[in-house]
Homo-oligomer: A and B are copies of this chain.
Amino acid sequence: MTNDAVAAVARSVRTLTIDAVQAANSGHPGMPMGVAELGALLYGEVLSHTPEDPAWTNRDRFVLSAGHGSMFLYSLLHLAGYDISLEDIRNFRQLGYKTPGHPEYGHTPGVETTTGPLGQGLANAVGLAIAEQMTAAAYNTAAHTIVDHYTYVIVGDGCLMEGITGEASSLAGHLKLGKLIAFYDSNKISIEGSTDLAFTEDVAARYRAYGWQVLSGDAYDPDVIRKLVAEAKGDTERPTLIVLTSVIGKGSPNKAGTHGVHGAALGDDEVALSKKEIGVAEDAMFFIDPDAVAFFAARRGELTDAHAQWKATFDAWASANPGLAEQWRAVQSGDLERYLAAAELPTYEPGSKEATRKASGAAIKALAKALPNLVGGSADLAPSNNTAMPEDGEFFADSRDGHTLHFGVREHAMAAIGNGLALYGGLRPFVATFLVFADYLRPGLRLSALMNIPTVYILTHDSIFIGEDGPTHQPIEHLAALRAIPNVQVFRPADGAETNRAWLTALRSEGPTCLVLTRQGLPELAKPAGWEADADRGGYVVQDAQGAPDAVVLATGSEVSLAIDAAGKSGKKVRVVSVTSVERLLAQDEAFHEKLMPAGVPVYAAEAGIPMGWEAFTGSRDRVFGLAGFGASGPGAKVAEHFGFTAAKLTEMLSR
């Protein structure tokens, strides 16, 4: 790529950005204008990819962590030949086009992950870089290399202020992810003004402390950027942070270098002045430099050839390794049924006792044996979350074939790294912590949900019954808060068999799943034959009344056995329904609801948490047996007694 071509592409990025934001009268021109040359080099020269196959497994990954600069991506994807039309760009931030305000995975080809919530993109990139190493270790052979690529990410000042980038970067350095290359668009401006207002740390020194290589240079000298990328690639042991000194909104004569250009249209006058400065006719709307068009036309041919070469290597590899190739096709397509069918999940005898976290641990071990692509770990709570996969090895700098990750006490990065693993393709990731610390990873879970990707969240120690650790560790509002997020399915299994079922369902789902598990032992329930079909729809009758019921009690997890106990003592004909998933149950038709909850029969609900949400079934908060406030420190049973959360109290409610 000549430097003239870089200039032509950068010019086009700037003008497309200016006009798109002005047309929408909304958006963030500052970032794309500020690092347009970097974009030109990335899409014109650095990235190994092909617009013809945006899902090509061995493509370089590029993440725009500073997602507000979405016009950076859209303009470059359009120029590079992805299926984003000029019409899409003319309709930036309008409904029905591929150019939403922030990049959205699944909505726009070439967008690797949804970004905007700051910092998460970098953590996603760490997940992608881990996935590349895992996948390379699993599939490359001495004769054939089919996975070997880089992961690039652009971060801004905002990303680097967020704690999640610190968490993710510390882990990336620890894991020696040498093929992760982050560009820091260092423009010294954030929304309130100069970064000097709040952010004067030495970022380069911080990243060196994390074990990164840190390089720096001018954002506007293509040769410098080329040299820095080469140096980054040259260090195979350390991830690299390339600090590019840039000017936000470069090209705008009056607004460049100010926070006025960060998140607002330039305005007609400044648009005109900017075009003049950029060297484009004022009346040229959505101008694309013909040299940019010519460049990408030629470049596209090169990329097609490179992709074809890879395909030939892949075919040779597949012929030489038919078993591996079959596995590759299965995991890449997400078709895990053959493995799930072979999983020897543990079995439980009714009446035996086991904590569901331990049942989950046993399921994980069985699934890890059966599935080639189950990967994950805990935020330093593996012994408590029961997430060990001892036969699958651990993923470290010197053991890329391991499947267990040690995330450290970094819940937020863990979730976003889990999303990166899920986005990469071919892997089925889980992450784990205590339910109460779902708060720490919530922003990552929201993005799992928004992208509808199948990260599994193992959340143990699920109620006041954890006891002594006290209210800081006792979830109260968390089940409701998790269920509140669209697309998230929350399972709170009542025993070992339900835990198995929840795991299978999680691995068969396209979107994220939360598995909410007990610390304490729960009795294995006797279940009616064929319970699984109803369980998959959200709930099943685990114990029915003799004859037409006087009342129905919905319960989850540890409260199912409590409800069975209370029902037996109530002196009424009480049906107990084990609700496997509130969201699934809500989604069923009237006939299914009628089957579980016959019209006219009062419905109660029992769950060791706030009542919120259960009124959708009970019609009233008065029939929800839950908790009103925070917990307390003491042995679990005594804490429950203290708050009146016992079978006897539920019996009282049912007997009223």
A209 near B205 (CB under 8 angstroms)? yes
Q: A27-B468, A95-B632 are in contact. Are A380 and B484 (CB under 8 A)?
A: no
Bound-state Cα–Cα, A443 to B163, Å: 13
A470 near B104 (CB under 8 angstroms)? yes
A440 contacts chain B at the CB level, 8 A cutoff:
yes
Bound-state Cα–Cα, A412 to B383, Å: 27
Bound-state Cα–Cα, A134 to B403, Å: 50
A472 near B114 (CB under 8 angstroms)? yes
Q: A101-B473, A619-B620 are in contact. Are A468 and B26 (CB under 8 A)?
A: yes
A201 near B209 (CB under 8 angstroms)? yes
A567 contacts chain B at the CB level, 8 A cutoff:
no
A616 contacts chain B at the CB level, 8 A cutoff:
yes
A161 near B619 (CB under 8 angstroms)? no
Residues from chain B with Cβ under 8 Å of A536 in the complex: none
Residues from chain B with Cβ under 8 Å of A163 in the complex: 162-167, 410, 412-413
Bound-state Cα–Cα, A115 to B470, Å: 11
Q: A114-B472, A412-B163 are in contact. Are A486 and B174 (CB under 8 A)?
A: no
Bound-state Cα–Cα, A162 to B321, Å: 43
A95 near B634 (CB under 8 angstroms)? yes
Residues from chain B with Cβ under 8 Å of A442 in the complex: 439, 442
A210 contacts chain B at the CB level, 8 A cutoff:
yes
Residues from chain B with Cβ under 8 Å of A26 in the complex: 467-469
Residues from chain B with Cβ under 8 Å of A570 in the complex: none
- Closest chain-B Cβ to A237's Cβ sits at a distance in Å of 13
- Closest chain-B Cβ to A174's Cβ sits at a distance in Å of 5
Bound-state Cα–Cα, A629 to B486, Å: 5
Counted per complex, copies of this chain come to: 2
Bound-state Cα–Cα, A164 to B101, Å: 28
A127 contacts chain B at the CB level, 8 A cutoff:
no
A199 contacts chain B at the CB level, 8 A cutoff:
yes
A621 contacts chain B at the CB level, 8 A cutoff:
yes
B200 near A211 (CB under 8 angstroms)? yes
Bound-state Cα–Cα, A122 to B104, Å: 35
The stretch among A225-233, A421-429, A475-483, A526-534 that forms the contact with chain B is A475-483
Bound-state Cα–Cα, A486 to B180, Å: 42
Bound-state Cα–Cα, A412 to B408, Å: 18
A35 contacts chain B at the CB level, 8 A cutoff:
no
The stretch among A190-198, A295-303, A309-317 that forms the contact with chain B is A190-198
A365 contacts chain B at the CB level, 8 A cutoff:
no
The stretch among A349-357, A368-376, A635-643 that forms the contact with chain B is A635-643
Residues from chain B with Cβ under 8 Å of A632 in the complex: 95, 100
Q: Mark A612-634, 1 if CB is under 8 A from B, else 0.
A: 11011001110000001110111
Bound-state Cα–Cα, A483 to B480, Å: 10
Residues from chain B with Cβ under 8 Å of A481 in the complex: 480-481, 484-485
A137 contacts chain B at the CB level, 8 A cutoff:
no
A445's closest neighbor in chain B, by CB?
A: B439
A117 contacts chain B at the CB level, 8 A cutoff:
yes
A522 contacts chain B at the CB level, 8 A cutoff:
no
A198's closest neighbor in chain B, by CB?
A: B408
Which residue of B104, B616, B630, B633 contacts A615 across the interface (Cβ within 8 Å)? B616
Bound-state Cα–Cα, A157 to B437, Å: 17
Within 8 A of B (CB), among A398-447: 406-413, 436-437, 439-440, 442-443, 446-447
A29 contacts chain B at the CB level, 8 A cutoff:
no
A257 contacts chain B at the CB level, 8 A cutoff:
no
- Closest chain-B Cβ to A86's Cβ sits at a distance in Å of 18
A206 contacts chain B at the CB level, 8 A cutoff:
yes
Bound-state Cα–Cα, A205 to B206, Å: 7
- Closest chain-B Cβ to A241's Cβ sits at a distance in Å of 12
Size range of the interface on A? 35 or more
Q: A171-B198, A206-B209 are in contact. Are A480 and B469 (CB under 8 A)?
A: no
A504 contacts chain B at the CB level, 8 A cutoff:
no
- Closest chain-B Cβ to A122's Cβ sits at a distance in Å of 11
- Residue among A118, A382, A586, A615 facing the most chain B CB atoms (10 A cut-off): A615
A30 contacts chain B at the CB level, 8 A cutoff:
no
Bound-state Cα–Cα, A471 to B447, Å: 10
Which residue of B67, B117, B450 contacts A437 across the interface (Cβ within 8 Å)? B117
- Closest chain-B Cβ to A633's Cβ sits at a distance in Å of 3
Bound-state Cα–Cα, A161 to B166, Å: 8
A248 contacts chain B at the CB level, 8 A cutoff:
no
- Closest chain-B Cβ to A133's Cβ sits at a distance in Å of 16
A158 contacts chain B at the CB level, 8 A cutoff:
yes
A472 near B209 (CB under 8 angstroms)? no
Residues from chain B with Cβ under 8 Å of A477 in the complex: 484-486
A210 near B199 (CB under 8 angstroms)? no
Q: A161-B170, A450-B630, A486-B628 are in contact. Are A206 and B210 (CB under 8 A)?
A: yes
Which residue of B119, B409, B446 contacts A158 across the interface (Cβ within 8 Å)? B409
B170 near A633 (CB under 8 angstroms)? no
A93 contacts chain B at the CB level, 8 A cutoff:
yes
Bound-state Cα–Cα, A185 to B369, Å: 39
Q: Mark A186-224, 1 if CB is under 8 A from B, else 0.
A: 000011100001111111111011110000000000000
- Closest chain-B Cβ to A627's Cβ sits at a distance in Å of 8
B197 near A161 (CB under 8 angstroms)? no
Q: Mark A87-101, 1 if CB is under 8 A from B, else 0.
A: 000000111100011
A378 near B192 (CB under 8 angstroms)? yes
A512 contacts chain B at the CB level, 8 A cutoff:
no
Bound-state Cα–Cα, A34 to B383, Å: 22
12 contacts between A and B (CB under 8 A): A67-B472, A116-B470, A116-B473, A170-B199, A192-B380, A192-B381, A198-B408, A198-B410, A205-B206, A450-B472, A476-B486, A611-B616
Taking A192-B381, A487-B629 as given, write out 20 further A-B residue pairs in contact, using a Cβ cutoff of 8 Å, ordered by the A residue number.
Answer: A101-B472, A104-B472, A117-B436, A161-B380, A161-B409, A162-B163, A162-B167, A163-B163, A163-B164, A192-B380, A201-B211, A205-B206, A206-B209, A447-B472, A477-B484, A484-B484, A486-B630, A586-B621, A613-B615, A616-B620
Nearest 9 A/B pairs, CB to CB: A163-B163, A100-B633, A198-B408, A116-B472, A95-B634, A205-B209, A166-B166, A477-B484, A615-B615
